[in-house]
Amino acid sequence: MTLTLAQTLKKNTHKVIRRCYIKRRLIDGTYESNWQRIDFYRSRDQVIDWGAFSLEIDHNPGDIGTFEISSLQMQFVNTEGYWNVESDSHSIWAPSTTYLNRKLTKLKIESGYLDSSGTEIGVATVFEGVIDKVAMSEEQVASVTVLPYSSVLTHYLITDLALTGSKTVSQVVNAIMNQSKITTFIPYVAASPTNNKTVTDSASLSGNYWTILKQMAQLSNSIPMLVGTVWSFAPRTQTSEIKWSFLGAGTQFPDIFKITKFDDEGAERVRTVFQCDDDSGGKITVTSEDPILVRKYLNDPQQIDLQSIDLSDRLPVLQSYLSYWEKSRPILEFTSKFMVNILSTLDKIRIKSFGRVLPIGGVPRWGDGSAWVDTSIWGRLTGSINILNQSYMVTRVQKDLQNWVFAITAEKIV
């Protein structure tokens, strides 16, 4: 019987799959129809280093409504000159009368697992983007920088849409995303913002598409997310179902390799004061009504740019931010098995990890089902990290394709 990906991840030994493909641009600017495999090319393994990349929401404390995907740095064997400029006859991009240059070539990576019979399990595209640059070395190595498709959104200015009049957040977002020059890379999905506020003068918007999308996310308390080629503009809320239950130290079958950092308060992300401009040169300010929180964190006002929406809408937006960010949330960072696409940002997970138990030597803990030999002896948890079946929301995932691990950052759901 073929195992599921989840069942495979529970095993202790794995056979992994990694494949890399490209689609070159033709001389007319379109892309070739089929993906060309390049990690194993002309009967030889070509990849020296598969690299790593990350997906993250709210990557800077207080920088609200943001989503970032890092670039991917790969290294390929280049002894035959396959990665050379298109004017070189050895290049994959030769002849130059057929293919354009290497920049903006599409590149994707598939990964997954093999079972003992050689059946593929859970194989999926984990990264897709466009080549930005290729650098050579005397060691016959080509270092390739690949940018996520979100980078395409930085190449165009919002003014090219010639928007006029009032537009809702979803109308602005959809106007950007539902264009052929964008859907060539990112399939269109209609926006579903948390609060579909109205931009009073869309003609006054300025900046590139990606800047505007993040601005619209801030206005509507939403997140613009791109996972591979799957686009969404939706609320910043965790998934309803638990995507994975992680087991750490002190459990029978741990799948957390190491907890690298545990901020048991999450103080740096707390904001007790939010502020925006009004229309007369003054400020609109909301402050936590909890005096203990205000005394504990003494935050400077977190400034939010809400000038593009009506004055009457600004206070409710600030209040919606305050209701979330005034609460402290412990932050956990840990490494685990490579989970392909099982986990992404906003996913809800469960964590169980014990610290030291005193007295030691197998003393039972209350509720673990063990028979009590001497009820006068009670085990108790000590140490700095004790997380007992608590729910967290993933805020960052680093997929390390070279070392085949996930590095996960999550904030406690309170």
- As a whole number, the mean pLDDT across the chain is 91
Q: What is the pTM of this model?
A: 0.89
For residue range 15-30, what is the model confidence (pLDDT) as tens digits? 999 999 999 999 999 9
Task: Check whether 357 has a pLDDT greater than 60.
Answer: no
Which secondary structure element, helix H or strand E, spans residue 252, and what is its range?
none
Helix (H) or strand (E) holding 148: strand 141-148
Residue 29: phi and psi, rounded to 5, are 95, -10
Q: Please report the pLDDT score of residue 378 as a whole number.
A: 53
pLDDT at 171: 98
Dihedral, CA of residue 358, residue 361, residue 367 and residue 368, to nearest 10: 140
**For the ranges 114-118, 266-270, 395-399, which has the lowest average pLDDT?**
114-118
Of residues 378, 371, 408, 377, the one with CA closest to residue 393: 408
Work out the average pLDDT over 328-335.
95
Q: Looking at the predicted structure, is the pLDDT value of residue 46 above 80?
A: yes
Q: How many Cα atoms sit within 13 Å of 169 on the Cβ side? A: 27
β 141-148/120-136 pair status? antiparallel
Hey, what amino acid is at 379?
G
Specify the DSSP class assigned to residue 332.
E
Residue 160, judged by CB atoms within 10 A of its CB (0-12, 13-18, 19+), counts as exposed
- CA distance linking residue 153 with residue 233, whole number of Å: 14
What secondary structure letter does DSSP report for 4?
A: P
Q: How far apart are CA 217 and CA 196, in angstroms?
A: 10
Q: Is the pLDDT of residue 291 over 90?
A: yes
Distance CA 314, CA 307 (A): 8
Say yes or no to pLDDT of 186 above 70: yes
